[in-house]
Amino acid sequence: MRLYDYAASGNCFKVRLLLGMLGVEYERVPIDIFGGDTLTCEFAMINPLRETPVLELDGGERLGQSNAILWYLGEGTPFLPEGRLERGQVAQWLSFEQERVMGGLGGPRFRLLTGRATPEQVEPRLATGRGALEVLDGHLAARDWLVGDAPSIADLGLFPYVSVSPVEIPEHVAAWLDRVRALPGFVDDFVTYPENARPGAGSSIY
């Protein structure tokens, strides 16, 4: 199994989290997004969208989109519930992550750290992020995990960009982040953006 991966991407990090917690051996193939790696013809054959992560299976099949990869890897493990309702709730939270957390926290953080926007310019997006954290905090006020009584791919899907939120993290969300960090197999290899991610310093689709 091979993972085409960018170390500073929260979407890649969530996949590494699950692989680590499952104890799955895999080959990690570093892809420098801003070094032009995704612009090559070779990478276009791996993923025509020129995005990471991409999971390549032992048979050569490839799967893109981080949450789809989480679902594939989680199937048949304790990280994906068996019940119909619980699975629907997992899908709900993964959609929430892409719509509200990625858009309201991950995107603004990227723009701020790489000098692509000022705090004033990203404030409308950060307002969405604060609202997402408020919803998450209310949900976690009386429970340890997002779905059911055990950690799932929903928790791992939300963890990366919430854990590096550019706005204040509320109490119950902070406690939940600590619970995720305490899980067996947790990997702490989520890095910040390198210098070539700044405007004009690299070459990418962004």
122 and 149 assigned to the same domain: yes
Same-domain check for residues 113 and 28: no
Q: Shortest CA distance to 6 belongs to which of 38, 47, 52? A: 52
Domains held by the chain: number: 2
**Are 158 and 88 found together in one domain?**
yes
Residue type, position 191, single letter: V
Element (H, E) at 4: strand 2-5
Structure tokens at 182: 């305490």
State the pLDDT confidence band at 205, using cuts at 50, 70 and 90.
Answer: confident
In a domain, 205, yes or no: no
Could you give the CA distance from residue 132 to residue 102 in angstroms, rounded to a whole number?
A: 10
For residues 31 and 114, membership in a common domain is answered with: no
90 plus 52 within the same structural domain: no
Structural domain for 41, as ranges: 2-77+189-197
Q: In this structure, are residues 17 and 156 in contact, taking their beta carbons and an 8 Å threshold?
A: yes
The angle subtended at Cα 73 by Cα 69 and Cα 76, nearest 5°, is 140
The answer to whether residue 203 sits within a structural domain is: no
Give tens-digit pLDDT for 166-183: 999 999 999 999 999 999
Regarding whether 176 and 89 lie in a shared domain, the answer is: yes
Residue 164 sits in a domain whose CATH number is 1.20.1050.10
Q: What is the pLDDT of residues 183-195, one digit of tens each?
A: 999 999 999 999 9
Segments in the chain forming alpha helices (H): 10-22, 41-46, 66-74, 84-96, 107-113, 119-140, 153-163, 171-181
Give the DSSP per-residue string, 105-160. IIHHHHHHHTTSS-HHHHHHHHHHHHHHHHHHHHHHTT-SSSSTTS--HHHHHHHH
Residue 206: inside a domain, yes or no?
no
The side-by-side arrangement of strands in the sheet containing 54-56 is 27-30, 2-5, 54-56, 62-64
Does 133 lie in the same domain as 91?
Answer: yes
Q: What is the mean predicted confidence (pLDDT) over 98-111? A: 97
Q: Is the dihedral of CA 100, 92, 162, 113 positive or negative?
A: negative
pLDDT at 201 over 90: no
Q: Are both 116 and 155 inside the same structural domain? A: yes
Q: What is the mean pLDDT of the chain?
A: 97
pTM for the structure as a whole: 0.95
Asked whether residue 109 falls in the same domain as residue 172, the answer is yes
